[in-house]
Chain A
Amino acid sequence: MSSVRVLVGTRKGAFILTADGARKRWKVSGPHFAGWEIYHVKGSPVDPNRIYASQTSGWFGQIIQRSDDGGKKWNTPGSTSEELKSPDGMPKGESNKFVYDGVPGTHQWYDGTQHPWEFKRVWHLEPSLHDPEHVYAGVEDAALFESKDGGASWNELSGLRKHDSGPKWQPGAGGMCLHTILLDPQDPQRIYVAISAAGAFRTDDGGETWKPINQGLHSEYIPDPAAEVGHCVHRIAMHSLRPNTLFMQKHWDVMRSDDGGDSWREVSGNLPSDFGFPIDVHAHEPETIYVVPIKSDSEHYPPSSRLRVYRSRTGGNEWEALTKGLPQRNCYVNVLRDAMSVDSLEPCGIYFGTTGGQVYGSADGGDSWKPIVRDLPAVLSVEVQTLP
């Protein structure tokens, strides 16, 4: 019987929630890496037992953790006792070494001055669709790294950061983070990324060169609302069967592209607010998408203090509120950009975590919801693995 494993990153550790295909009774394990911020945990689609985690701390920096047994045991890659030292006696493990390629240069700071690129943390880990040893990392200050040895060492794909527009990129309120990495399942050379607040970018040559793909975005909060870069993209989602169709939750506005990001159009329609963070696509219906409206950029909680997921079955514009099982009064939590995910069971399951520490799950495509856990630390990320 199929089962699901929900990988939850929080402000104070990681948690793993497991259930069989009915998704009614859950086991909770954790906290893993107690006390550390876990920005993201994600499993390899090729080998679900291979899971990568971004463990980070304002004090002690960035750590990459890896499990090869589905999250029971964890190691910093390249640091096990068998492989501690190179022949000259120095440690090999460099799984937390993220060094920009060449002279890092500068980007725009909040006040418009130039500011040096400084590595802070890994926001998002995206395992390859083909090789469990190959994984991408989106980092703050914005750059894309990759590891081809299971996370033991990392190299920057610096064509992105060295794009001519780099000096114009600026941090959003959460920092200048590369938070979204989408791998095209039909074209291994094509990758999409999104950066707050620079916008969306695409490579068609495996990461050598990059193109801003922000045409059609309109952001009133920047000097040129239709600028090539500077847009605060919060999240992009794709269905694996239609990789040219992208759905975007921008700072304000829900957007859609049907040409691989070359152009975008707004599909916010009847949403009560088009501000929000996550966006995701139903596992079996490429035109069914989900967002969680948030009141505004300064009030990061649901409109009318009612936690509502909105579903569109028409790829945007027409939205319905999903409320059954979700708090409909006095609710002031947020749902962060990496904190929503779907399983691929039938019917499709949807999961999201809140800054109040709840992880909600729906086993019926969003029609009804139940809390899987209620009192975790603030949830930063939610990923789901569907296991055979």
Chain B
Amino acid sequence: MIRVVLPPHLRTLARVEGDVELDVNATVTQRSILDELETRYPMLRGTMRDHVTQLRRPLVRFFACGEDLSHESPDAPLPEPIARGSEPFVIIGAIAGG
């Protein structure tokens, strides 16, 4: 079970409270997590990565185990604690005012 922490605005949009728990039946990567997340919550499509290019939106960041993985390959395997579910995959909106 993968745990995902969404930023507050996306929790509201997806109508979830707290962490999201996902089963990912593939190597656990940014892409496989986002694919499953968008399948479960279609309203999140386009909010974290572009609909067409699938590139991360500029003001969205991905963290895991205290590391900023925003610039890692979306197909790179994520750390074992993420795959085990002992640590969450954290999606945040960049601190940029507003």
Q: Chain A residues in contact with chain B, CB under 8 A?
A: 33-36, 57-63, 76, 78-79, 84-85, 89-97, 99
Are the CB atoms of B42 and A59 closer together than 8 Å? no
Q: B38 — nearest CB in chain A belongs to which residue?
A: A91
A84 and B46 in contact, given A35-B9, A58-B98 (Cβ under 8 angstroms)? no
Least CB distance, B39 to chain A, in whole angstroms: 6
Task: Output the least CB separation between B16 and chain A (Å).
Answer: 13
Q: Show 16 A/B contacts (Cβ-Cβ < 8 Å), sorted by A.
A: A34-B12, A35-B8, A35-B12, A36-B9, A59-B96, A60-B13, A60-B57, A63-B13, A63-B43, A76-B43, A91-B42, A92-B42, A93-B43, A94-B42, A96-B45, A99-B51
Contacts of A78 in B (CB 8 A): 42
Q: Does B94 contact A (CB under 8 A)?
A: yes
A99 near B52: Cβ-Cβ < 8 Å: yes
Chain A residue, CB-CB nearest to B94: A59
B5 sits at the interface (CB 8 A) = no
Once A60-B57, A60-B93, A96-B47 are accepted as A-B contacts, the answer to whether A84 and B12 lie under 8 Å apart by CB is no
**A78 CA / B41 CA spacing, docked (Å):** 11
- Residues facing A in B39-80 (CB within 8 A) are 39, 42-43, 45-48, 51-52, 57, 59-60
B10 contacts chain A at the CB level, 8 A cutoff:
yes
Other contacts beyond A94-B45, A99-B52: 8, CB < 8 A: A36-B9, A63-B43, A76-B43, A91-B45, A96-B43, A96-B45, A96-B51, A99-B51
Question: In whole Å, how far is B89's beta carbon from the nearest beta carbon of chain A?
Answer: 17
- Asked if A60 meets B48 with Cβ closer than 8 Å, knowing A34-B12, A35-B9, A36-B9, the reply is yes
Q: Which residues of B contact A36 (CB under 8 A)?
A: 9
A93 to B42, CA, bound (A): 6
Using CB atoms, name the residue of chain B closest to A60: B47
Contacts of A58 in B (CB 8 A): 59, 96, 98
- Complex Cα distance, B60 from A262, in Å, reads 46
Interface residue tally for chain B (C-beta within 8 Å): 23
Determine which of B9, B38, B45 lies in contact with A59 in the assembled complex, contact meaning CB atoms within 8 Å: B9
Kindly provide the distance from the CB of A325 to the nearest chain B CB, expressed in whole angstroms.
33
Point out the residues of chain A lying under 8 angstroms from B8, CB to CB.
Answer: 35
Q: A60-B57, A60-B93, A61-B46 are contacts. A85–B9 as well, Cβ < 8 Å?
A: no
Contacting pair B39 A60 (CB below 8 A): no
Q: Helix, strand, loop or mixed for chain A's interface?
A: loop
- Are A59 and B59 in contact, CB atoms less than 8 angstroms apart? yes
CA distance A61 to B96 in the complex (A): 15
Kindly report which residue of chain B lies nearest to residue A55, judged by CB atoms. B13
Residue pair A97, B51 in contact (C-beta under 8 Å): yes
B60 touches A59 (CB 8 A): yes
Bound together, the chains give a CA A312 to CA B96 distance in angstroms of: 44
Contact with A along B1-40 (1 / 0, CB 8 A): 0000001111011000000000000000000000000110
Complex alpha-carbon distance, A84 and B39, angstroms: 8
> B7 to chain A: which residues have CB within 8 Å?
59-60
Q: How far is the CA of A79 from the CA of B46 in the complex (A)?
A: 13
Q: Which residues of B contact A93 (CB under 8 A)?
A: 42-43, 45
Instruction: Point out the residues of chain A lying under 8 angstroms from B39, CB to CB.
Output: 85, 89-91
Residues of A within 8 A of B42 (CB): 76, 78-79, 84, 91-94
Give the docked Cα–Cα distance between A35 and B12 (Å).
Answer: 10
Docked Cα-Cα span, A91 to B45, in Å, equals 9
- Give which listed residue, B9, B38, B43, contacts A57 with CB less than 8 A: B9
* Chain B contacts for A97, CB-based, 8 A: 45-46, 51
Task: Output the least CB separation between B97 and chain A (Å).
Answer: 9
What 10 A-B pairs have minimum CB-CB distances, sorted nearest first? A91-B42, A93-B42, A59-B93, A60-B47, A76-B43, A59-B59, A79-B43, A96-B46, A79-B42, A97-B51
What chain A residues lie within 8 Å of B98 (beta carbons)?
58
A84 contacts which chain B residues (CB < 8 A)? 42
Q: How far is the CB of B44 from chain A (nearest CB, A)?
A: 9
Question: Bound state CA distance, A382 and B39, in angstroms?
Answer: 35
The distance from the CB of B64 to the nearest CB of chain A, in whole angstroms, is 19
Q: Are B46 and A62 in contact (CB under 8 A)?
A: yes
Task: Tell me the smallest distance from the CB of A258 to a CB of chain B, in Å.
Answer: 43
Distance in angstroms from A37 CB to nearest chain B CB is: 9
